[in-house]
Structure 1
Amino acid sequence: MKKIFVLDTNVLLNNPRAIFSFEENEVIIPLAVLEEIDNLKTQGSDLGYNARETSRLLEELRNQGNLDKGVKLENGGVLKIVINGELRLPKGLSSSKMDNRIISTAIDIMEKNSDRKVIMVSDDINLRLICDAYGLRAEEHSSSRLNEEQIYTGFRELSLNSKLIDKLFSEDKLSIEELNAEEKESFYPNEFLQLRSGDKHKNTALTRFDGENLVPLKYNDKQPAKIRARNREQQLAMELLLDDQIKLATISGKAGTGKTLLAIAAGLSKVVDESIYKKLLVVRPVMPMGKDIGYLPGDKEEKMAPWMQPIFDNLEFIVHRNKDNKYAYEKLLNSKLIQIEALTYIRGRSVPEQYIIIDEAQNLSLHEVKTIVTRAGENTKLVFTGDPYQIDNPYLNFHKNGLNYLAHKFHDQKISGHIMLKQGERSELAEIASKLL
């Protein structure tokens, strides 16, 4: 028996082509969803873009038939738009709220199709909870949801014979063909491996898979802007940040692990000391991308100040560490070599020859990270940092956010790399608090 899927607005705003992801089942869009999409289509944000794209797709389908009666989709399913003129809201739900009107439509469809399974599809947790309370099955849109096995950490441990580790040190590489059959695994480009010998010699080595061989780390002694790695994962992050062959680096980790500080330090070094890039651009979502800052008082800089303060804090820390070169870094902050922007303003731009850091990337949707990555011009490096355990976007979670999704999709590309930081380095108090509270 074919199922009936009722779509919430946020599903289409995250991915307009979601209507084609339900196989041969029936897909229903309530009238209230169309009203919400119509209200958003004039926005200049990604939400506005997706609203317009949804309208275009629906118009193409409308030209193929009557959406009220149902139009065949390319995957064999059927799409309908349902106008529920008679609201059948459960007691306690206000009809003035658009979410409740969408739930009402789904409940009406469920009661009229008792022989079929009706499922409300929404990325809104609260809406799904309300549906459960009224006996209506609700699910998150799962086409882009990552399971635990798909969360890429960028690091693994491997047990090896001590002689092979000695060979790595003597030849500066170790072919994976030399590993035993049980040790051969599918390694990803720029994945890091901690090699350990199980014998009495207890040799260890930190390596990176370069696509063909396991090789030692290259930047062990580097301290960009006098910032040094303080633990193993930070050292691995430095490898990604300082390697000019890696054009996309994703760094995740909880608060206080040093993600932003390491990225800014590496960016400053590449722009000022090595002149590899013409500019360091640090961008941050004011809120989840697409929200405006117009409601805040003051000019653009004053509006952005509360959201950009963590970036300035890290820059001030780096300037303090570089007292002998303090004038150069202060001059840098006042020059056009470094630019700090709200993420909203990067849309529509092409940015060549820049070192770009996207902070708080866990709050970005899948479409938003695509928008940002496609802005990259020739000789531009993108660094995404964020904490996937601390997400402010109500429609995203650990298993479904732009940062983890980007790391997963690019994990087999030679021009990208990822590492998940684990150990907090902000202070002893901050580290204890993150564990206890």
Structure 2
Amino acid sequence: MRKIYVLDTNVLIHDPKAIFNFVDNEVIVPISVIEEIDKLKRDPTTGAQARITSRVIDKIREKGSLSKGVELENDIFFKVEIGYGTIKLPEFMHKELVDNKILAVTLGIKEENPDKKVVIVTKDINMRIKGDSLGLEVEDYETDKVNYSELYEGSYEVDVSDETFKTFEKTGRVKIEDVASKENEPNCFFKMKNSGKVISGRYSKTKKRIERMAFADVSAWGVRARNDEQEYAMDLLMDDNIRVITLVGRAGTGKTLLAVATGLEQVVERKKYKKLFIARPIIPMGKDIGYLPGSEKEKLKPWMQPIYDNIDFLSENKEDKAGEKVVMGLESLGLLKIEALTYIRGRSIPAGFIIIDEAQNLTPLEIKTIVTRAGEDTKIVFTGDPDQIDSPYLDANTNGLTYLAEKFRMVDISGHITLKKGERSKLAELAAKLL
């Protein structure tokens, strides 16, 4: 049975091409959604997606009248709905709110189409609650959803025979079929156990074998790995052949510190890349503090303070504000750039080492935008904790970080590690576990 899907604004902002994913069904966008998208075009965090959405719908308009409906490919019927203004909502529901206008339109469509299933698609939890309480069918937009609880961790623990263990210990390599029974992800790690002994290696898909890690024990800007997962992360971060890396883990596991340390090491000391580029999405935790005074750099400082804290930790000079002084020195030499993620769109960054921190607050579309900015010989590292998301319309299953990790798991030039053990402090580790 063909269904009628009514799309909320946040669905189109999350995925401007969502309209084309409802194959063999009808898609309705209320006119109030179009009005809201127009307002969001001026918002620095949603402006790009809003403009893309407008262009997508305008392209559909060229095929026919949006008010009468347009037949699209894959048997999709699309329409912009302007009617049903007379539908009555409960008195306590303010009629001017966009959410309530969408609910009214959906009630009207349902009333006019009693033989069809009418569904509101929204990423807003409260909108789903309100719709359900009015007797409407509601759904989340799940086209790009990943099951975070089953996310690939980047490493495996396996028991191996005496012969296999001794072969790896002696030669530093072993055939994949001697360790794993199936074709594994490229650049995944194996912790091989035998009679209480443990040894680790990384899988090379091109050579069909597990090899000894080349960079697991290196010192990057004075930092060495403290546990197995950090060794795996270090091996990926220092390898020139790995171009996209996702580091997932709760607070205190060392994601950002390892990324910044290896970035500084390879840009400043080893000169493998021309510049270290560090960016974070500007999304506040809790209530926003509003507009900030000063220059662009002064405005960004509160958002970028975690980066300064990490460079502070890495600085040999432990005097006050050592991190800021190191940053200023490297910026003056053109080796480092710390800025808001807002400014990355439209750029091309060749031969750069890019770190995107707090990437769990990005949508899959924003992640795509960032990865497509990479020029020749550029390496991109995404770090984040999917359990700490500040964006109101994302969760552990729908954010761009987990989406990228899942989609790139079989790509030869990518690597992923889930870091589990906290190394910041005993207190931080306890808080992450118990709270």
Q: TM-score, normalised by structure 1?
A: 0.92
Measure how far apart 1:33 and its partner are.
0.7
Does 364-373 or 143-152 show the bigger shift? 143-152
Equivalent of 2:434 in 425, 433, 436: 436
Output the amino acid matched with 1:274: R
Asked if 1:194 is matched to 2:188, the reply is no
One of 255, 258, 267 as aligned partner of 2:251: 255
Match of 1:50 in 2: 49
SS for the counterpart of 2:303 is: helix
Query: Is 1:231 the equivalent of 2:230?
Result: no
> Are 1:96 and 2:104 matched, yes or no?
no
Work out whether residues 293 and 304 of structure 1, in 8 Å CA contact, stay in contact via their aligned partners in 2: no
Q: Deviations over 1:132-152 (max 9, x none)?
A: 222212111111011257622
The SS at the match of 2:221 is helix
Correspondent of 1:377 among 361, 375, 378: 375
Indicate conservation of the 8 Å contact 1:32/1:98, yes or no: yes
Residues 398 and 321 (structure 1 numbering): CA distance in 2 closer, same or farther, change over 3 Å?
farther
Contact 1:224 1:266 in 2 (8 A): yes
Q: CA deviation at 1:104?
A: 1.6
SS in 2 for 1:16: coil
Tell me, yes or no, if structure 1 residue 418 matches structure 2 residue 412: no
Query: What are the within-5 Å matches in structure 2 for residues 313-392 of structure 1?
Result: 313-320=309-316, 329=326, 331-332=329-330, 334-392=332-390
CA 33–402 in structure 1, closer or farther in 2 if over 3 Å, else same: same
Aligned to 2:138: 138
Deviation at residue 271 of structure 1 after TM alignment: 1.1
The code of the aligned residue for 1:235 comes to E
Distance in 2 (CA, whole Å) between partners of 1:321 and 1:172 is 39
Report the residue type matching 1:307 in the other structure. W
Q: Relative to structure 1, is the Cα distance of residues 216 and 280 closer, same or farther in structure 2, using a 3 angstrom cutoff?
A: same
1:151 corresponding residue in structure 2: 151
Opposite residue 348 of structure 1, the aligned amino acid is G
Secondary structure of 1:35's partner?
helix
Aligned residues of 1:248 and 1:417 also touching (Cα < 8 A): yes
| Structure 2 residue corresponding to 1:269, chosen from 265, 268, 271 | 265
Identical-residue share of aligned pairs (%): 48
For 1:399, the equivalent position in structure 2 comes to 397
Q: When the two structures are superposed, what TM-score results if normalisation uses the length of structure 2?
A: 0.92
- State the alpha-carbon separation in 2 of the partners of residues 156 and 107 from structure 1: 51
Q: Could you tell me which residue of structure 1 aligns to residue 242 of structure 2?
A: 246
Report the alpha carbon displacement of residue 214 of structure 1 after superposing the two structures with TM.
0.7
- Give the AA of the match of 1:419: I
Asked if 1 retains the 8 angstrom alpha-carbon contact of 2:249 and 2:420, the reply is yes
Task: Identify unmatched segments of 5+ residues in structure 1.
Answer: none
Deviation at 1:116, TM superposition (A): 2.0
- Residue 124 of structure 1 pairs with residue 124 of structure 2: yes
Cα distance between partner residues in 2 of 1:311 and 1:7: 38
CA contact (8 A) 1:293 1:303 kept: no
Question: Matched residue of 1:80: which SS?
Answer: strand
Give the match's secondary structure for 1:378: coil
Measured in 1, the distance between the counterparts of 2:27 and 2:215 equals: 53
Whether the 8 Å CA contact 2:267–2:353 is kept in 1: the answer is: yes
Q: Which runs of 5+ in 2 are unaligned?
A: none
Q: SS at 2:17's partner residue? A: helix
Structure 1 residue identity aligned to 2:406: H
Aligned length: 425
CA contact (8 A) 2:148 2:402 kept: no
Q: Aligned residue for 2:17?
A: 17
After superposing on structure 2, the runs of 4+ consecutive aligned residues of structure 1 that deviate more than 4 Å are: 326-330
Deviation at 1:82, TM superposition (A): 1.3
Secondary structure of 2:57's partner?
helix
* Aligned-partner Cα distance in 2 for 1:174–1:20: 47
Alpha-carbon shift at residue 344 of structure 1 (Å): 0.9
Cross-structure match for 1:61: 60
Partner of 1:169: 169
Query: What's the secondary structure of 2:192's corresponding residue?
Result: strand
Query: Aligned letter for 2:416?
Result: H
Query: C-alpha distance in 1, partners of 2:360/2:302?
Result: 19
**In the aligned structure 2, how far is the partner of 1:335 from the partner of 1:306?**
23
| CA–CA distance in structure 1, aligned partners of residues 344 and 248 of structure 2 | 22
